[in-house]
Structure 1
């Protein structure tokens, strides 16, 4: 749909008073979809999407955004009682982001994790203190296996904060991430860009849309990029993607969209530098090494990551108050790699090579981490949604059914290079290795089957009060090569919204989540410390609950959104290990309390702002691993503080400049809180010059101060190094 609905006074009508089609159109592009406000103990930030302006020079038109076109959201963002951080395509372009990891690296409240073989490499975000690698969705449908996602085919990225199993099913303890793809429209346009930057990095993208009939359109997105990762000699990127989509029945009561996407990464895997050292327990941070040096094997290591996604989307409006949506999604993925794990594993006190990282003879070890794992998933979601009235109460609802099957396959890989020792301060990544990988047969490693039924509703009781409620029943079955388990569980959500004024809201919400054993079977050997066999069979789902208390205000004629929230998420049945038997139990307990603040939108016709701040207290209340007790310590991988500010200003009609800073506090890399990834501050800037109406040049400089940063660590074994200072000049040509 292309029409938009804005009241004469600039205020948006409440969702319950709009028919579904008008409602979705009215909230198609948002500046208000930032951060909700949630929690029971904090004032949490929610980052709102940057206001999109219709450029009439003298006027600024702001309209809302229907979150991900997802019928599970039965109210617009301002009336949704939870934190929702939305980043649109314009903001991602301005900041020079090229991947999901680039976007999440500069988003407050999110930290990144690392894989090392048993846990595959790929996007591994932690949202509000809890891992969300299995909680990534594409157009509201779960994206099962871990991979590296590009943004070339995305309209927006929406981060739903707080326990969200009532929306998404299993998982979602700290939140979930939805990638909203581009779809065909009934206008003709094309956007072609090419960029070149530091370390020979280059990127080209194309986005074209062509109507093929009165109500049909074809859209094609293309991407190719290459070069080195800035500040990492020899670490190359080779990525391409193609995403065609075809739509029928646009702006009619019956719509059909066919989509396909193939994204391929053929790059050099990089696990950074060795970190913890048994011979140097007094050193709690990564050793000071030359960031440009590569500690892998350029003549042996490789990574092949494929994501192939096919989607059939069908929608039908029976009337202005009743609609049906059905989605079929098939996904094939492959995670195939041989990478080097740089550690001090072979450097132990009293034996082996020298371990001190202070002398010229210091050494480290490289160990091979091979993997071949493929997944094949088929998911169907059906939603019936609309509105009705009972007396003076207006209801907006969605009832849905989800059925899914996800299969996992392995091939053994033998013949990888043996562990070798090299100089810590002068490593030689060009060593030749006499090796030949031998592959075993493709074998089934396990499968996951899900069946879910859910109901979500927003009721407008009066002009001032709205109530949101939802429930979901999941039946989750998992099996590997040795065992099988079936769990059935309910999850809930409830929220009360009070509107003291038409441009503001206060809310209190409660939600739950469940993490069944085996939920990430396709990503590692099991789920959150649960392997296969009897441990899958004997461990019940973890349970979490979340509270949010927040407020949202739309100011300056609805151009600027301010948000704040308090939140608390507690997992009362967290997995732990019995010190006597070694069995996995549910005796653990952890809790994250926090505050989020956010601002997003247009301060003036020329000045835009996107900013957020998050403070968290991620506490381990009870947790044992073997004979180790970690009660009272801080949860690993999570920064207490993080924030980001990005602003742009139109200096001249053809010249826009922007800049910002992102900061993140210290994170512990292990449960014992003895290893620390230092905090950092990163500065970025951009300038865009519109040479003509259709042609523009944009220069981005990221990490201006060349700050040494670490994205993540795998329990302190190694530290993954963030990119160094980089620049890229991009030329973009648009025509319609």
Structure 2
């Protein structure tokens, strides 16, 4: 199979989902219109003025108190915030809260949602309705009610990993009401998007909900990449408003993109050997420059998830909930990394190195939980106890060039470090830095190796949380979790050397204990101060090859090391103002890892490193007046890699004493909207961060730092309620067409953020 055959998109795949959505939307709307007149009163559209920016309770039942009484930094990004800002994917939604940056991937570290929180990679700490979603990839928002962001070490809540925090996606579920909502959007860069959200209730305890989405758009400000995807999420609940409720949910998301491999770092022909040099990315004088190959590059992802949830009210104050889920995901890509280390950028050329991956992820998980409240000996308790069982299976494979003249030429170019050699390469293996051609012919043949590495995790977890009211003004929050963690890895079959034809197996067996402890003192009915401490554990193989954790360490070494431990300390205050319509939060925090994995001078690995992040986080969400909404915050992080081990020459490893990669000192976000009239609303967004370092390295005695610069970006929105059922909304992202970088990999390249774009949407609700 050639790269052309593997990666090329067919037009029907792009058009069919849109036709499906529109086809579904019209008859559903017609059917609802015929029945609603007889069964329902007139419905007024819920505009932004009535929807929630601030929420009082986190979606997760593990939080046994309202957010104002939770001694931890927790931000909930509501559906209303996502709708006003017109985000379509999880990465863009997360940018609305400060303190989250994004890393890039390649082959070994998969491409996809890779958030960094308080200095730690959280790519494998993303959850859906409380169950881990380890599959790498880019997530959609069409079926989300909210996004819950938990910051600080939180293995008590999330289990393994979670050194800097975790992210929980709360999905839409059937309700005891009837409505059909939808949106059709058209915009610059060939933007087309349609969504449908319908809910039907028979009034007798049965309700069904259907969410459908189709999306097709080019990447703003880039000449070549595009994103095409569609999804469907039906669900049905039996027994609504009765003591026993059963919900069945299915979720399917499928994408077929031309990926954006970013731009190379401006690596000079000769590196200095003394002093310090900061290297920034370059796009050859034109930010539209794309270094990929349309004839070769593709990225396909598919996710199928089925969930069965049973809830039973044991009493007026106690509830049992059981969630059973099976999911299967695939990620399949070949994309161009504009490598800065070969044949090289200083001479005006870029080597089109290809990165590839073919992974399948299967997860079977069951979570049983009891929540309730009671009073004993004059002390009030609000608690949650649970048992979680899961099995995760992953196979990671890749593509390779078939033998022949092309493969010989590709290997020759990959070994050349002079611009002349790259310029003379055939078949588009190299391209011009200033004038790349994405239509260059690709005459190689790519085929899957069919030799995957295999990963398996079996986890059994017990957890419990209790908010204890010691006195009217004093609350004690206690959480503990124990995970029995068993991991297995089978390497790919060796193809050369003494071990050719064999594969190695590594096993890991850990019992992880983690805790969360917090004390809250109520200064007033609407405000408090708190202090808390929490822990996290990151064992070997915790990401199953789906993230960075431990991937830079050899498998045989990783299996011998104890879990990396991180503790989080936080002192803060939370207030509700303006009749509890506005939430204000502030916290001082420290994340401290005292047994970080480091490489010793003899290349052995030990748990003797140290790293620390100190910071301040401010947040706000809600309504200042009846017409004025705000959401956002500011985060300051002072990070230091205290001990990264020694090199063979006795020097500290590069980066010792310096800031963490992907951890800016300053980051901030603000979304504010004002309802000038009952029909007209306008909003402005401001997002930014300071410099982000991708990597530190030595060149002789010189420190070489790859970094992307800081930025401030502005967005704008205006909406007009044309009628009680139709609202028109215009969003302009990156209003002033700011050129900046959204993420960086440790070496070789960085990704340009989107240029200016505009989208006009018609939002309807019946």
* TM-score normalised over the length of structure 1: 0.88
Report 1:121-270 matches (<5 A). Answer: 121-212=111-202, 214-270=204-260
Distance 1:143 1:625 in 2: 36
Report 1:441-460 matches (<5 A). Answer: 441=450, 445-460=454-469
C-alpha contact (below 8 Å) 1:297/1:340 kept by paired residues = yes
> Does 2:233 correspond to 1:274?
no
Moved over 6 A (4+): 53-63
C-alpha contact (below 8 Å) 1:464/1:500 kept by paired residues = yes
The corresponding residue for 1:338 is 334
The corresponding residue for 2:623 is 602
Aligned counterpart in structure 1 of residue 601 of structure 2, from 579, 585, 600: 579
The corresponding residue for 2:659 is 634
> Does 2:75 correspond to 1:88?
no
The corresponding residue for 2:367 is 381
Distance 1:186 1:142 in 2: 28
- How far is the alpha carbon of 1:55 from its aligned partner? 7.6
CA RMSD of aligned residues (A): 2.1
Name the one with the larger helix percent: 2
The corresponding residue for 2:496 is none
Distance 1:60 1:155 in 2: 12
The corresponding residue for 1:541 is 563
The corresponding residue for 2:669 is 644
> Does 2:529 correspond to 1:506?
yes
The corresponding residue for 1:694 is 725
- Higher RCO structure, 1 or 2 (CA under 8 Å, sep 6+): 1
Report 1:185-584 matches (<5 A). Answer: 185-212=175-202, 214-277=204-267, 279=269, 281=271, 282=277, 284-287=279-282, 289=284, 290-347=286-343, 355-356=345-346, 362-415=348-401, 418=410, 420-441=429-450, 445-481=454-490, 482-523=505-546, 527-532=550-555, 534-580=556-602, 582-584=603-605
C-alpha contact (below 8 Å) 1:525/1:531 kept by paired residues = no
Q: Comparing 448-457 with 53-62, which one deviates more in the overlay?
A: 53-62
- How far is the alpha carbon of 1:326 from its aligned partner? 0.8
> Does 2:739 correspond to 1:730?
no
* Larger Rg over CA atoms: 2
Distance 1:297 1:57 in 2: 43
Distance 1:715 1:59, change over 3 A: closer
Structure 1 stretches lacking a partner, 5+ long: 1-52, 348-352
Distance 1:704 1:138 in 2: 32
SS in 1 for 2:395: strand
Distance 1:209 1:426 in 2: 51
C-alpha contact (below 8 Å) 1:145/1:522 kept by paired residues = no
Distance 1:444 1:343, change over 3 A: closer
Distance 1:374 1:504 in 2: 48
The corresponding residue for 1:105 is 95
- How far is the alpha carbon of 1:283 from its aligned partner? 5.6
Distance 1:389 1:451 in 2: 30
The corresponding residue for 2:643 is 622
SS in 2 for 1:340: strand
Distance 1:729 1:718 in 2: 33
- How far is the alpha carbon of 1:320 from its aligned partner? 1.4
Deviations 1:424-450 (A, max 9, x none): 111111111123332344756121111
SS in 2 for 1:192: strand
- How far is the alpha carbon of 1:293 from its aligned partner? 1.2
Distance 1:601 1:259 in 2: 31
The corresponding residue for 1:717 is 748
Deviations 1:700-730 (A, max 9, x none): 0010111111111111310111100010000
Distance 2:185 2:283 in 1: 33
- How far is the alpha carbon of 1:478 from its aligned partner? 1.1
Distance 1:280 1:669, change over 3 A: farther
* TM-score normalised over the length of structure 2: 0.85
The corresponding residue for 2:495 is none
The corresponding residue for 1:350 is none
- How far is the alpha carbon of 1:587 from its aligned partner? 1.5
SS in 1 for 2:94: helix
Distance 1:233 1:126 in 2: 28
Deviations 1:649-693 (A, max 9, x none): 111221101112111100111034612210000000000000000
Q: Comparing 391-400 with 668-677, which one deviates more in the overlay?
A: 668-677
C-alpha contact (below 8 Å) 2:680/2:718 kept by paired residues = yes
C-alpha contact (below 8 Å) 1:122/1:146 kept by paired residues = yes
Distance 1:652 1:629 in 2: 57
Deviations 1:258-296 (A, max 9, x none): 111111121011120011525254562112531111111
- How far is the alpha carbon of 1:526 from its aligned partner? 6.6
Distance 2:591 2:548 in 1: 26
C-alpha contact (below 8 Å) 2:152/2:568 kept by paired residues = yes
C-alpha contact (below 8 Å) 2:306/2:326 kept by paired residues = yes
Distance 1:56 1:609, change over 3 A: closer
Distance 1:530 1:326 in 2: 38
Distance 2:574 2:366 in 1: 34
Deviations 1:600-629 (A, max 9, x none): 211111111113000001110111375435
Deviations 1:119-167 (A, max 9, x none): 0100000011111011100011110111110000000001011110011
The corresponding residue for 1:41 is none
The corresponding residue for 1:680 is 711
Deviations 1:450-477 (A, max 9, x none): 1111111001111101100011111111
SS in 2 for 1:116: coil
Distance 1:62 1:587 in 2: 44
Distance 1:155 1:605 in 2: 23
Deviations 1:210-237 (A, max 9, x none): 1145111100001111120100111111
Report 1:53-64 matches (<5 A). Answer: 64=55
- How far is the alpha carbon of 1:525 from its aligned partner? 8.4
